A and B are shown apart, each in its own frame.
Chain A
Amino acid sequence: MDDPAPVPPPADARRSFLAKLMAMVGGGLATLTPVAAGVWMTLDPLRRKSSAASFLPITKVESVPDDGLPRQFPVIADRTDAWTGFEAEPIGAVYLRREQGSDTIEAFSATCPHAGCFIELDKRDRCFRCPCHNSAFTLDGGIVSPSPSPRTMDALECEVRDGRVAVKWENYYSGIAEKVARP
């Protein structure tokens, strides 16, 4: 097709500056609005808190043999996942341990403080092992070095009342030397 003859540009520079400014501001506002609304919604997860630390019943004292060998127990609690509510669901696991003849119970989270894998108990070698990056822990949660894990296993507060064990269920940040609970 034939190109149209060149048209000289309009001359009023001041008006054109104003026009440019207004076009930029207007265009910016027009796109920023959905962006801002989108960011607002995208940041929503920051407002969410986990089902917070609370004492959850785990088992009876007799179910934890007093042989110093930890036993794994599921942690059962009501749980919500966004719009779904679960009643009495397994939400994680703890290891409980009782020394011979003792009534006090030690509790450890089964979540590896290194990067969050599930720690397993090695009965033969009497230690804990994480299957992911070879962190190992002693039966009382101490570090077996050298270990990729920056800290000992996370001990959980544990209460024994009327022969029943309850544990304060908390999640901790992984990969750092201090034990910091997630909000």
Chain B
Amino acid sequence: MSDAPAPRTRRGPLAKLADFFDDRTGYRAVVHEALYERVPGGARWRYVWGSTLVFAFVTQMITGLVLWSSYSASAQTAWESVYFIQHEMAGGWLVRGIHHVMAQAMVVLLALHLMQVVIDGAYRAPREVNFWLGLILMKLVLGMALTGYLLPWDQKGYWATRVATNLAGLVPLIGPSLQQLVVGGPDYGHHTLTRFFALHAGFLPGTLIAFLVVHLTLFRKHGLCAKQPITKPDCMFWPDQVLKDVVAMLAVLAVVLGVILLPAVRAMVEGRPIVPGELGAELGAPADPSQPYAAARPEWYFLFLFQFLKVFEGWGADGEFLGAIVVPGVLLGMMFLMPLVGRWKLGHRFNVLFTVAILVGAGLLTAMALREDYAAAWADREAYADVEQLIEETGNDPEKIAATLGNDEARIAEFQAKAHELEEIRRSEAFFAAVKQAEAEAHRAVELAGRPERIPPGGALELIRTDPLSQGPILFAQHCSSCHAHVDPAAPEAAELMAASSAANLSRFGSAAWARGLLDPELVAGPAYFGNTAHAEGDMVSYVTNDMTDRDSWSEEQIEAVAVALAAEAAVVDDEPLDPAIVEQGRALMADEERCGSCHHAGDNETENGYAPDLAGWAGREWLIGIITDPNHERFYPETNDRMPSFGVAEEGGVPALSATQIGLLADWLRGEWYRGE
């Protein structure tokens, strides 16, 4: 403290106020202590990493608090609130983007800081404790990264967290309980989120701040560990080193903002509109435990651990235990021992090499993981055509393959190597497809959430589970596709798919184009219509191929009118414009008891249902629901149903194969009736 009071003459009111506070708090001494630290050998760029980390952490606290104020941790609100932040709130995308990218920057800065400390030997006495504190801080930061990944409750975070928590279950003895504690129960849900959130935003940063304070105090106590030999004169922390630190912070910030804004710049250059919601951090489709997510990958800085799990393939349970628990544990343990190892003469060299080895190893594993996932991006697919063909022809039977290759060992070995590469490429292709699908699902979820009706109380998952566009293909694949094709007849794979099907192609069912094909003598007995069914020999096929080709009774114009009238009954979404006059003419022909009406009930004719399907409301929503529910109903095929199950009819004591909601979703999907964004 000051010995003699400074002469207090002619001081302005501001200085007086400062004096008042200094007398009572002594803040000047504290500020002085904080800023006027000697930097032996002068300010250097290599000392900036610690400060940039503090800066990154402060940025995370600020953005995190703001995100917190708009986030809601529960299974029905987490994705929804993050959606709202990302896509609707002013600046939401920017705050979330900064938080997301800065987290990754922090991992990079951690690695740099660690490297600098190890290379400069700053872990040696008397700084051992501070080095250990630093390692703890690193673990805390990684813990926050891990817990933060789950919080949006999207597919990506959900599946990555499942893997991570399952690995936690491998810890000896306490593993299963530990896992259950972290997950908040036996299943993933509300309490997984609330716990991860409490860890991410409360426990971990709170602990981090406590350790950081000690870390910085000790750093001050020991002073900066100057790079030897000292060649330049000393300087003061303020302002010389602070200036360098600030420049480094700005550089970090510039990189972070650059990553966030780059897509916007690209969009601008390419003349596309900029959608702020698509900048910064992405948001996948809402978490759904019943929907596979083949694009599951951890954040890039955990990819090396992820790849590590593959390295131990063939080791069985030991491999996973080694890869997930033992090896990382041993490596971390060795890092804790560095200050002790560093006491020996060669110890420091060893430590440097060890740290470099870890970082290079992690880098290599990351590269391996990326190379596997993106193999298809640079593979020359043509080069594998012969291998692929051989596998297909022989059904991948090793003996047959060997025989085809003339039992020549060299050729077989070459084949095997190529087959292995091919498998990797195929896996990578599957990954690409999965990523693309995940993007489409995410896009759809956001589109649905943005409807004017907003998200129902059941959450976004309910929205997706009642969306015909999302559910139709899944339900169709599960229940319909073993008989029916659903493929654009013009698509290259259409012929093959239709030939393999045993019922009509339902793509654009009910459209004028579909109806024209039905009445086309060339097509009606083909695989797209009745060709692969018992109806191939039926009255309809014979009527279309015989009676309707007789130009005296059916003119081409009349046939067209019937097709158009059928389409008018169906009124599917996005059909071609139908001329009302022609529809009228077609309806009359349809109802005519000398023509279609001789078998079909249509319009107001007297023909009773039972012999042929009802044409009133044909392929409309209600009609489709009816036929999927029960094709044996008298409106459809009471006598002549060919193998189609009654999906909506329960047997005694059972439940129907499809619920009414599911049947409705299928009908809507077939008819193209779903929400379309702007």
Q: In the assembled complex, how far is the CB of residue B439 from the closest CB belonging to chain A, in whole angstroms?
A: 16
Report the Cα distance A72→B191, complex, angstroms.
29
Sample of 4 further A-B pairs with CB below 8 A, known A50-B187, A73-B478: A45-B181, A82-B189, A134-B313, A151-B316
Interface of A, helix, strand, loop or mixed by DSSP: loop
Q: Say if the beta carbon of A32 comes within 8 Å of chain B.
A: no
One digit per residue, 1 when the CB lies within 8 angstroms of any chain A CB and 0 when it does not, for chain B 180-194 equals 110111110111000
What residue of chain A has the Cβ atom nearest to residue B474's Cβ?
A74
Question: Contact: A150 with B317, CB < 8 Å?
Answer: yes
| Cβ-based interface call for B319 (8 A) | yes
Contact B166 A116 (CB under 8 A): yes
Do A1 and B309 contact each other (CB < 8 Å), given the known contacts A90-B290, A120-B292? no
User: Residue B400 at the A interface, CB < 8 A?
Assistant: no
Chain A contact patch, size range = 35 or more
Asked if A20 is at the interface (CB within 8 A of a chain B CB), the reply is no
Cβ–Cβ contact A177 & B317, under 8 A:
yes
Residues of chain A whose beta carbon lies under 8 Å from any beta carbon of chain B: 1, 3, 42-43, 45-46, 48-51, 57, 59-60, 62-63, 65, 71-75, 79, 81-84, 88, 90-93, 110, 114-118, 120, 125, 129, 131-135, 145-148, 150-151, 162-164, 171, 173-177, 182-183
Partner of A46, one of B163, B180, B293: B180
The 8 Å CB contact of A65, one of B191, B289, B318, B482, is B482
Which of A3, A71, A151, A175 is most buried by chain B, counting CB atoms within 10 A of its CB? Answer: A175
B532 to chain A, nearest CB (A): 16
The segment from B56-64, B211-219, B427-435, B598-606 that touches chain A is B427-435
When chains A and B are docked, how far (Å) is the Cα of A112 from the Cα of B292? 11
Ordered nearest first, which 4 A-B pairs have the shortest CB separation?
A146-B314, A90-B290, A150-B317, A81-B189
- B28: interface (CB < 8 Å): no
Looking at the complex, which of B270-278, B547-555, B649-657 is the stretch in contact with chain A? Answer: B649-657
Given contacts A62-B645, A117-B296, contact A131 B431 (CB under 8 A): yes
Q: When the two chains form their complex, are residues A132 and B296 in contact, meaning their CB atoms are under 8 A apart?
A: yes
| B190 CB contact (under 8 Å) in A60, A84, A88 | A84
B132 part of interface (Cβ distance < 8 Å): no
Q: Tell me which residues across on chain A come within 8 A of B49, comparing CB atoms.
A: none
With A60-B657, A175-B170 given, is the CB distance from A46 to B177 under 8 Å? yes
Measured CB to CB, the closest approach of chain B to A176, in angstroms, equals 5
Q: Which of A59, A84, A93 has the most CB of B within 10 A?
A: A84
Interface presence of B637 (CB below 8 A): no
Residues of chain A with a CB closer than 8 A to B162's CB = 115-117
Smallest distance from the beta carbon of B53 to chain A beta carbons, Å? Answer: 30
List B contacts of A50 (CB < 8 A). Answer: 185-187
Contacts of B296 in A (CB 8 A): 117, 131-132
Question: Is B294 on the interface with A (CB-CB < 8 A)?
Answer: yes
Chain A residue with the shortest CB-CB distance to B179: A173
Kindly list chain B residues whose C-beta atoms are within 8 Å of the C-beta of A110. Answer: 292
State whether A42 touches B181 (Cβ < 8 A). yes
* Chain B residues within an 8 Å CB radius of A73: 478
Interface 1/0 per residue, B467-484 and A, CB below 8 Å? 000000000001100100
CB pair B189–A131 under 8 Å, yes or no, is no
A103 to B24, CA, bound (A): 89
Chain A residues, Cβ within 8 Å of B657:
59-60, 63
Interface centre among A43, A48, A82, A147 (most CB of B within 10 A): A82
Shortest Cβ gap from A146 to chain B (Å): 3
**Contact across chains for B189 and A45 when beta carbons are under 8 A apart:** no
Considering the complex, give the chain A residue whose CB is closest to the CB of B164.
A115
